[in-house]
Structure 1
Amino acid sequence: MPLAPNFTSVLHKEFEINFTQCLPSGCLKYTELCNLLQLTAAMHADLGGISFSDMQEFNQAWVLSRMRVEIKSLPQWKDTVTVKTWINTLENSRSVRALEIHLNGEKIIGCETFWAVFNTEKRRPEPLALDHEHFQLFPDLKATEESFSKIVINPEKEEVFGKTVILSDLDIVNHVNHVKYLEWCMDVVDENIILKQKIKSFEMNFMKELSLRDQVVIHENIGEDSIVFSITKEDKNCFALKLNLV
């Protein structure tokens, strides 16, 4: 797809929060928050000619490797938020993208994401085949106070439950979407932590992709001010989530 006439290197997109996206408290679900960020990143890539459809001509797609989200407050039902995104770095097979969510002119959420170009046939990273020189990069404009990091998985973890990957867990790249990993873990978090907005930030690391009918185990390690989840397949770590609590 050619470069869209309304393409800009910094994108602003408005969303109205609807009731299907909300918790019983009326606040936006953490999974739906990630969906908004994912949709905005995809829209920016589409406008800039490096969308999934464009990349599929070369059997490529963007896949998420790491993500950090810092939360001042969550938007609520009927709020209209503005999601802002830009690219910090884009080189070879890797890109760091920043995103922010603003409500009534105030930044309430910041996010830093690390993406890799993935060959959907060979199932491995490779350099981006498409031109991207038209994207202005903003390496010093950060959306979060801290950058994403490697999550330490404590071996003293507790097995929470096992799961078989089903069709509804998969996305267009034919593997488990990052929002699904988050959903699986959030489903076992104490509801008071979620409903009372006790999560000040969270990080996700994606290590190995999961596919249809994979058998996985979700583990949990609860600390004083954080909870770390890990997901394993055949005793190998595939995913880690760290919730930092207030």
Structure 2
Amino acid sequence: MKIEQTSIVEYEEVDTDFRMKLPALFQRLQRAALNHSDSVGLDTQTMVAAGAVWILNRIRVKIQRMPGYREPLTVRTWHKGSAGFRAGRDFFVLCGDEQVAAAASQWLYYDIGRKRIAKIPERVSAPYTDERDEALEPGAIDFAVDKTFEPEETLALTTREGDYDPNGHVNNTVYLDYLDTLIKRSGIAGGSIGEVGIQYLKEIDRHVQAIQGGLVKDNDVIHFRFFQQETVFAAGFVRTKDAL
């Protein structure tokens, strides 16, 4: 089963060029995934009451262009099946008939009581049904990240109360807000973002009030990570449109 959501790009979602911000795009993807779960009776509240949640482990997004202010935007998403404790989900983002972005993601099933990832029960995976279409090339989600590079640019970041979601940790989409700030203030990208891959390694809970963001450019790839001393919370890569 595939689901679609269509709405216009709102004022608060755009930057000074009246183009959708990077974190706003990721928020749209997250919202579509949540609404798909809601539609099959597996909304977050129901899952938490049953003792489990979905955790986004990694996501890769390729962007042809960012939608503009007031432009109609459709997010199409589908569940690609599950194996063990992992599940796949893909996305297309369209403006009318034009595809402007595509994404692949991997999710983990987390047992709240045992505080660890667990095998996905059939009663959880079955309601979504499986769609085998690929938004990106096969294997695109299996990208490598560099967690130990020496940053060329760093930026101190402070967590805010609004960063936390009902699970009590910084929401996955907020990392893209951190990344957007890190890239723009460093000036290291030098162009529009064409691709982002991020792996979430450790949650940022309420005990963490300040972190560091670091970047390094390696030929056409910009590596980034968010960390506090030796702890790395997330790491990934960015490519500009010129590098694709």
Cα shift readout 1:191-241 (whole Å, capped 9, x = no counterpart): 797998621111011111110131422211123322111112341222113
Q: Which amino acid aligns with 2:227?
A: T
Distance 2:187 2:218 in 1: 14
**Within 5 A, what are the aligned runs for 1:179-190?**
179-190=173-184
Does residue 208 (structure 1) correspond to residue 208 (structure 2)? The answer is no
Pairing partner for 1:39 from 17, 31, 36: 31
Pairing partner for 2:126 from 123, 133, 138: 133
Distance 2:11 2:207 in 1: 32
Cα shift readout 1:90-110 (whole Å, capped 9, x = no counterpart): 234211100111112121100
RMSD (Å) for aligned C-alpha atoms? 2.3
1:17 corresponding residue in structure 2: 9
1:6 corresponding residue in structure 2: none
Distance 1:194 1:163 in 2: 18
**Within 5 A, what are the aligned runs for 1:4-83?**
9-83=1-75
Does residue 84 (structure 1) correspond to residue 76 (structure 2)? The answer is yes
Q: Residue 132 of structure 1 aligns to a residue in which SS?
A: helix
Distance 2:178 2:186 in 1: 17
Cα shift readout 1:119-145 (whole Å, capped 9, x = no counterpart): 334432123354432332123x11123
More helix by share: 2
The Cα shift of 1:151 comes to 1.2
Could you tell me whether the CA contact under 8 Å between 2:91 and 2:104 is conserved in 1? yes
Distance 1:164 1:194 in 2: 21
Cα shift readout 1:33-85 (whole Å, capped 9, x = no counterpart): 00000000100011012221221122211111000000111110011111101
Q: Decide whether aligned partners of structure 1 residues 46 and 194 sit closer, same or farther in structure 2, where only a CA change above 3 A counts.
A: farther
Could you tell me whether the CA contact under 8 Å between 2:51 and 2:112 is conserved in 1? yes
Cα shift readout 1:137-184 (whole Å, capped 9, x = no counterpart): 123x11123612121245222461333433222111111111111211
Answer with 43-52 or 24-33: which moved more: 43-52
2:96 corresponding residue in structure 1: 104
Distance 2:3 2:27 in 1: 16
Could you tell me whether the CA contact under 8 Å between 1:120 and 1:173 is conserved in 2? no
Q: Which amino acid aligns with 1:221?
A: V
Which structure 1 segments of 5+ residues have no match?
Answer: 1-8
Q: Residue 69 of structure 1 aligns to a residue in which SS?
A: strand
Q: Decide whether aligned partners of structure 1 residues 240 and 66 sit closer, same or farther in structure 2, where only a CA change above 3 A counts.
A: same
Pairing partner for 1:239 from 226, 231, 234: 234
Aligned residues with identical type, % of pairs = 19
1:94 corresponding residue in structure 2: 86
Q: Decide whether aligned partners of structure 1 residues 220 and 196 sit closer, same or farther in structure 2, where only a CA change above 3 A counts.
A: closer
Could you tell me whether the CA contact under 8 Å between 2:102 and 2:135 is conserved in 1? yes
Distance 2:188 2:69 in 1: 16
| TM-score, normalised relative to structure 1 | 0.88
Distance 1:43 1:16 in 2: 17
Q: Decide whether aligned partners of structure 1 residues 218 and 131 sit closer, same or farther in structure 2, where only a CA change above 3 A counts.
A: closer
Could you tell me whether the CA contact under 8 Å between 1:166 and 1:212 is conserved in 2? no
Pairing partner for 2:218 from 218, 223, 245: 223
